[in-house]
Structure formats: C-alpha cells, structure tokens
Chain A
Amino acid sequence: MLEGAQEKRMVETRREKLRNAFIVAFPHTIPVFIGFLFIGMTYGVLMQTKGYSAFWSVMMSAIAFCGSMQFAAIPLLTAAFHPLQVFLLSLMINARHLFYGISMLEKYKGLGKIRGFLIYVLCDETFSISYGIVPPERVDRKSFYFVISSLHYVYWLFATFLGGILANFITFNTKGLDFVLTAFFIVLFLEQLKNKENQVFGVIGLLSTFASLLIFGKDHFLIPAMIIILTSLTIGRKKLCI
C-alpha cells in the first residue's frame, strides 16, 4: 500500500513536470505553430494537387518528418519509381541534422528512453529552441525537450493534414505568412549572438552560407555551406587555440 502511495506521488510529479515544462515551452513554439501551419498546409495542398490525399501527407509527415525533403520529394512522387535516388537525396538534404546531433550530444545526455524519440523528430525549429533556450531551474529538462519536440511534431502533422483536406477552401490572404519562419530564425540567431563568444561563429555561419548560396545557387548550396563552415571552424580552432 505504501508503494502505491509512493507511485501515485511519482506519477503526479511527472504530470506536474510536464505541466510546468509546457507552461514555459509552449509560448516559444507559437511562431513555429504559425509557420508550420502555413508551410504544412501548403505541403498538404501540393500533395493533393498531385493526387496524394491527406492520408499520404500525414503518413509522410509522421514517418519521415522532414519539411524540406518532404517538399523536394513531391516531384519525385509523380515520376518513375526510384527509391534509391530518393534515399540519397534525403541524406543530402537532411545532412544538416548531423550538425544538430553533434550540438545536442551534451544536452540530450541522461534522458533515458525518450532520447530515441527526441532524436527521431529533431528538426531545424526543435534544434533552435532546444539548443537556444535554456529552461529555468525549476523546469525538468527532459520534460522541456519532450514538450517542444512533441508539440512541433503534432503541429506539423496537423498542418499537413489540414492542407490535404482543406485544399480548396483557403480564402483569406495569407501572403507573406511564411516569413514567420525567417523571422523566427533571425531572432533566435540574434539571441545566440548575445553571447560574445558565439558572435564570430555566428558570423562564420552566415557568411559561409551566403557565399555558398552565391556560388552554388539556391538548390545546391547547403552541403557546400556546411563544408565551408566545418572547414572554417576547424581552421579557426587552430588559429584561436581553443
């Protein structure tokens, strides 16, 4: 009977941890919700125009969960069946997750079984918040990361589903709403720059990517950008003796 009471206390604490984490984390995910709503619905609509219903949009979102590749794959879903090609493309477009993983090695330590889920759904926006925003002392780290990751996951699935079923009914002018994600990344970038030590690395990232965009064009600049960044950081380490 004592065990039951202790268990009850533990379960309540876990629920409370989630609630406290939710209260702190949710506001940060609002811009992501709006951005995903717009972009996800666009995806759902596009899929529908190619003959893929909301069911397929949600399946894609739930199993693959990678916005940019999901978009890139749309023309491939209406071409000849080449799964190997699509797999290689996915590796390349999603390559930046390698860097997110390296960055989150420390933060995702000691989280137990939920780690698998957190890694599975790691995306640009989840990385930005989970890395960039440090939860206050009283908030449980595991719950914080879980809330952010699962909210973003649900937002995306919901948005792509909505796009699929509402494809023909969107009437109000949403032009420019997708800028919310640009604004989101800019502001989180500024937050990173608040830390003096980060400024030079932030600028390296910005300039390297911009240079890569100019040289390789908007369809092929990501991997070169990452290579330039990696090279600059490695050389910089020797020069700055860190």
Chain B
Amino acid sequence: MYLTASQTFIMIFAIAFGAIITRFLPFVLFPEHREVPQYITYLGKTLPPAMMGLLVVYSLKNVSIIRNPFGIPELIAILSILLLHRWKGNVLISIGCGTAIYMFLVQVVFT
C-alpha cells in the first residue's frame, strides 16, 4: 500500500464522485415532473441499441488479431452464439454455451 488510509479514502471518493455525476446528471437535468425535450426522448429510444453495440465492441477491446491466437477463438465463439441464438432463442443457453465453447477453445485447442 502506497497511500495512507485517509488518502485512499479520498481517492475512493474522487472515483465515486465521477461516477455519481455521470449517473445522476441526466436525472437531474430532466426531472420527472418536467417534460423531457423530444430530442432527449428520441435519444432515450435510439441510444440503448447503439450502446449495446458499443458494449459488444468494448468487451472485445483487448482482443488482438495480430497476436496468437489472432482472435480466432473469439470469432468461433461469437459465431456459435449467433447460430445458437438464432436456433434456440434462449438467452441463458446462448451465453452459457458460447462461454463454454470459448473456454474449451482457449484451454484445449489454442493453448
């Protein structure tokens, strides 16, 4: 530990403060009883699918296609998730099997 206990707490609160602002700001700017501008309502409907797309890429940001195993396990696992979800349409099965396939690939096939 490099910082004192008080300093560490201050750091924790500095981090928390940043998170709190980003979380509460929309709700503070657009409180319940006031009418929300149409532009914001439009964003409220269109941002979610876009953000989910962002999260998919975000979760894959550390995958390297130039270093072994070149993102192949990820590719295979993602394709199987797409097929599985098309076929069964079950959220938990798709997630579970997709993860199992990936783990198998990185532990057994692409070591």
Q: Write the residues of chain A forming the contact surface with B, with a CB cutoff of 8 angstroms.
A: 27-28, 30-31, 34, 50-52, 56, 59-60, 63-66, 69-70, 73, 76-79, 81, 83-84, 86-106, 108-110, 115, 119-120, 122, 124, 127-128, 131-132, 173, 175-177, 179-193, 195, 198-199, 201-210, 213, 218, 221-222, 225-226, 229-230, 233-234, 236-237, 242
- Residues of chain B in range 2-48 having any CB-CB distance to chain A below 8 Å: 2-3, 7-27, 30, 32, 36, 39-44, 46-48
Whether B56 pairs with A70 at a CB distance below 8 angstroms is no
Residue contact A28 to B54, C-beta cutoff 8 Å: no
- Cβ contact of A90, chosen from B8, B17, B48, cutoff 8 A: B17
Asked whether, in the complex, the Cβ of A119 is within 8 Å of the Cβ of B3, the reply is no
Asked whether A77 lies within 8 Å of B56 as measured between CB atoms, the reply is: no
Tell me how many residue pairs across A and B have CB atoms closer than 8 Å. Answer: 267
Cα–Cα, bound, A100→B15 (Å):
18
Interface size bucket, B side?
Answer: 35 or more
Q: Which residue of B lies closest to A219 (CB)?
A: B61
A175 with B106: in contact, given A30-B92, A64-B15, A183-B99 (CB under 8 Å)? yes
Given contact pairs A79-B2, A189-B55, enumerate 4 new A-B contacts (beta carbons under 8 Å). A102-B26, A104-B44, A186-B98, A193-B49
User: Does B62 make an interface contact (CB < 8 A)?
Assistant: yes
Q: Which of B15, B51, B61 contacts A87 (CB 8 A)?
A: B15
Of A88, A90, A115, A186, most buried by chain B (CB within 10 Å of CB) is A186
Which secondary structure dominates where chain A touches chain B?
Answer: helix
Given A105-B27, A131-B48, A233-B46: A182 touches B60 (CB 8 Å cut-off): yes
Whether B26 contacts A105 by the Cβ 8 Å rule is: yes
CB distance from A54 to the nearest CB of B (A): 13
State whether A86 touches B59 (Cβ < 8 A): no
A177 near B99: Cβ-Cβ < 8 Å: yes
Residues in A whose Cβ lies below 8 Å from that of B50: 201-202, 204-205, 208, 229, 233
Q: Which of A28, A31, A81, A183 counts the most B-chain CB atoms under 10 A from its CB?
A: A183
* Known contacts A101-B24, A179-B98: A192-B49 contact under CB 8 Å: yes
Residues of A with C-beta under 8 A to B15: 60, 64, 66, 69-70, 73, 86-87, 90
Instruction: Report the nearest B residue to A206, measured CB to CB.
Output: B53
Cβ contact within 8 Å between B17 and A87: yes
Bound: A78/B8 CA distance, A:
10
Q: How far is the CA of A145 from the CA of B20 in the complex (A)?
A: 19
Indicate with 1 or 0, residue by residue over B64-91, a CB within 8 angstroms of chain A CB atoms: 0000000001100110011001000001
Contact yes or no, A119 B24, CB < 8 A: yes
Nearest CB in chain A to that of B82: its residue: A190
B36 adjacent to A185 (CB under 8 Å) = no
